[in-house]
Amino acid sequence: MSEKFDSIVVRLNRMWAHQSHAELSGDDELAGDESKNDSVGKYRLLRLLGTGAFGVVYQARDESIEREVALKLPRLEVLMNQEKRERFAHEALVASQLEHPNIVRVYEAQLSNLEPYIASELCLGGTLEDWMASHPVDEVHWSQVALLVAEVSDAVGYAHDQAIYHRDIKPANIMIDERVTTEPLGLQWLPRLTDFGLAKFIDVPGNDTRSSLMLGTPAYLSPEHFSKATKTDAYNTVDIYSLGVVLFELLTRRLPIEGDNYVELLDNIRIHQPSSLRAIRPELPPALQCVVEKCLQKNPSARYSSAEELAADLRNVVAGRPIEGRASTMVERLSYWSTRPQRVAQAGWYACSWHLIVALWVLLASMVIPLIMDVSAVDWGGFSFLAIKVACLSFGPVIVAGWMTAQGNRLGLYMGLILTSVKFPLLIRTLFFESIYFDQLFLGD
Contact 70, 119 (CB under 8 A): yes
Contact 8, 115 (CB under 8 A): yes
DSSP symbol at 261: S
Contact 385, 432 (CB under 8 A): no
Please write down the long-range contacts of 429-432, taking CB distance under 8 Å and 24 or more positions apart.
none
Contact 277, 292 (CB under 8 A): yes
CA torsion, ordered 70, 31, 74, 215, to nearest 10 deg: -90
Partners of 58 in beta bridges: 48, 71
Q: Choosing from 6, 27, 168, 203, which is the catalytic residue?
A: 168
Question: DSSP secondary structure string, 110-162?
Answer: E-SSSS-EEEE---TT-BHHHHHHHS-GGGS-HHHHHHHHHHHHHHHHHHHHT
DSSP symbol at 232: -
User: CB atoms < 10 A from the CB of 384, how many?
Assistant: 15
130 is catalytic: no
Residue 236's Cα: distance from chain center in Å? Answer: 13
What is the C-alpha separation between 337 and 328, in angstroms, rounded? 12
Cα distance between the two ends of the chain: 95
User: CB atoms < 10 A from the CB of 315, how many?
Assistant: 18
> Could you give the 3-state DSSP secondary structure of residue 28?
helix
Active site residues: 168
